[in-house]
Amino acid sequence: MQTLDVASLGFPRIGRQRELKFALEKYWRGEIDQAQLQSVASELRQTHWQWQQAAGVKLLPVGDFAFYDQVLTLSATIDAIPERHRSGEQVDLDTLFRVARGRAPTGEACRAAQMKKYFNTNYHYIVPELRAGQRFAIAYEQLFDEVEQAKSLGHQPKPILLGPLSYLYLAKCEGESFDKLSLLPQLLEAYRAILARFASQGVTWVQLDEPILALELAKEWQVAFAPAYAELSGQGLKLLLASYYGSVAHHHGVISDLEVDGLHLDLVSDAQQLKQFAASLKPAQVLSLGVINGRNVWAADLDLLAERLRGVVADFGERVWLAPSCSLLHVPVDLASETELAADLVNQLSFARQKLDELAQLRILLLNPQSDEAQSIVARCEARREARERAANPEVQARLKGLTPADFTRGSGFGERRLRQQARFRLPLLPTTTIGSFPQTPAIRGLRSRWRKGELTEQAYVAQLEAVTRDSISRQLKLGIDVLVHGEAERNDMVEYFGEQLDGVGFTQFAWVQSYGSRCVKPPLIYGDVSRRQPMTLSWASFAQSLTDRPVKGMLTGPVTILHWSFAREDIGREQIANQLALAIRDEVTDLQAAGIGIIQIDEPAFREGLPLKASEWQHYLDWAVAAFKLSAAGAEDETQIHTHMCYSEFNATIDAIAAMDADVITIETSRSHMELLNAFEDFEYPNEIGPGVYDIHSPNLPTVEEMVTLIEKAATKIPVGQLWVNPDCGLKTRTWDEVEPALANMVKATKELRRRLG
């Protein structure tokens, strides 16, 4: 009888109840030792392997687990660690934490490495720092230890490595100007050594991830693949080349010539590429079909999928593997934890464990289509499609159809608006502000938890949050900050908070997804047409503004970010969803404005994240993303100052679009890059005002006055000082007041010193 293998490209590492997050934070605080942290990690790996094996996965992924980030784990494995992060000769777990956070329980505090978004996802990776003459050698044992753990449990491990070309592509060359590809020969030596170690451990398959193949690569990168993989083959191992997040059809010639034993295709991104690669598959090569979406939570139409795949399964038989499109890192762990979602919605969802079950169900549809079990699967698919149709809202659809070009444009140009805003607010040179959130202390989280459980009345909950807000305003006034924020004590997350108050959007109890390190988010579920039921932020903004004569920003999350940081429906286009969200935010803007809130921030940190991987496809996305932001802000009068915030973005390629958003003030992350990201704004002569971050909020290290003066001075060489604001890189939710207050005090001191120097 024909068989089909089920494959896994990686599983979420954080744990069903965020066990890894809590263990990491306890270790960083000194509440547990490293052995206890390693014990939690070992138990999580064991559980995740058991789940995958139970779903029919034979080759279990190893190397998808990381204490912070898998790219950083690879950097440690091959000894690509900057000198400032070392503490002696040994590369150990604390070395990784010094690279990622600038601090670990051992060693000296130092500047953390840069962190960027991983391709077009909301996952962040730690950027490798390489130099001319870089040498690579095995220096860190985590990968090999995990192989031994899997084997000791009776599993067949399939190690996963970021491929050598993708690793080099993602790296930066600190302080040097040279071709990164010149390091490829030395890097391949290290990869060969890693593969040899795996072979000695009895490994049979290794997965090499090359996500850069979804990009439009320069010729020199394309031609580097064939000799690189020729060198890596013949190690006594079978190599599975995996790419994801986009189509690789444009690199068909490059890929089909590679000496690999298997090929994984992301068929969710591009189902049409299957025919092209199937036609060129070499004898004995395995074809891994990435047909279950590893980046969204909606259950697949398995019956329709099975019909599409019957031909290729018939042609290649046991050489076909059924797989998710990419690692399941980007989805929550287990739908079984959700007990409060409506049945209609639950039946449409699929988390990591369920996606593996979907692969097993797809296997049944392909091998036993007439069985009772297969017919039951088909019936569930039909019921899901009927439920999706019931989520339509004719009023929302009619409002979208009625939009005109005037709905996307502010009343006057920035020059006129700026004069009116200066007259209204009379802010000093280099105005100081923060990005929005203040520390979510254990007391605040406990307060919210008791309220949700019904242990605290609404009145008592609001009264205590008002006390927290008063405290936040008081602290800012004492620090001397010019434009205040209310601190967002009432918000669980910048996207989830809004999702809970919008029709057409559902929210979960435990659907956590890792963003970086121990940081997890719980994305809303956009399942239907979106509309605002009532004002979402008005009461808290008005209360905070009543406490002071200084301006307090109204804080909103923008439509593009809500879209990208949610699990959005797939039955209509993302542009249409973005405009529905924009109308909801626009209504909030006009309500805030009518209540006297004069400065409103519409955060869009995910704006660049939505860019297609291929530059040739950018313009269409930029057009509708800019339009959605402008639709959300265009209800503001000239005297109302609109801010937006973006973090961890590279702006050079999108600066025209950012300018087209026409925000009065944009604040951005720049401290880890030492203001390098401002080069785009300097070369473009950005016309509006800009606040480059001078305080790295992702590190517990205290920035000094001198460091921030240097950063502001550097910014002033690129942007006219009259256009500059001073602010941290991002919100301060994840920090403690013991860290925040001295850092902000130093920020204000640095600003006053610069005002004195610059007049």
Active-site positions?
Answer: 698
525: helix, strand or coil? strand
Number of H helices, E strands in the chain: 27, 22
Residue 647: phi and psi, rounded to 5, are: -135, 155
Closest Cα to residue 78, out of 157, 171, 209? Answer: 171
Residue 697: phi and psi, rounded to 5, are: -75, -10
Instruction: Please state, in angstroms and as integers, the Cα–Cα distance from residue 705 to each residue in 673, 698, 741, 742, following that order.
Output: 18, 18, 13, 10
Q: What is the C-alpha to C-alpha distance for residues 479 and 747, in angstroms, rounded to an integer?
A: 9
Q: What is the C-alpha to C-alpha distance for residues 429 and 755, in angstroms, rounded to an integer?
A: 7
CB 660: neighbour CB atoms within 10 A? 15
Residue positions counted in the chain = 759
Q: What is the C-alpha to C-alpha distance for residues 265 and 245, in angstroms, rounded to an integer?
A: 10
Closest Cα to residue 61, out of 329, 319, 291? Answer: 329
Residue 206: phi and psi, rounded to 5, are: -130, 135
Closest Cα to residue 711, out of 756, 676, 752, 757? Answer: 676
Contacting residues for 131 by C-beta, under 8 A, at least 6 apart: 173, 174, 175, 176
To the nearest 10°, the Cα dihedral for 407, 408, 409, 411?
30
437: helix, strand or coil? strand
- Helix/strand/coil (H, E, C) string of 199-214? HHCCCCEEEEECHHHH
CB 324 within 8 A of CB 9: yes
Which sign does the torsion angle of CA 328, 331, 332, 336 carry? negative
CB 303: neighbour CB atoms within 10 A? 20
286: helix, strand or coil? strand
Contacting residues for 408 by C-beta, under 8 A, at least 6 apart: 627, 630, 631, 634
Beta bridge partners of 642: 600
CB 309: neighbour CB atoms within 10 A? 21
CB 710 within 8 A of CB 752: no
CB 630 within 8 A of CB 599: no
- Helix/strand/coil (H, E, C) string of 537-585? CHHHHHHHHCCCCCCECEEEECHHHHHHCCEECCCCCHHHHHHHHHHHH
Start-end of H helices in 257-413: 273-279, 302-316, 343-346, 352-367, 372-389, 394-401
CB 335 within 8 A of CB 350: yes
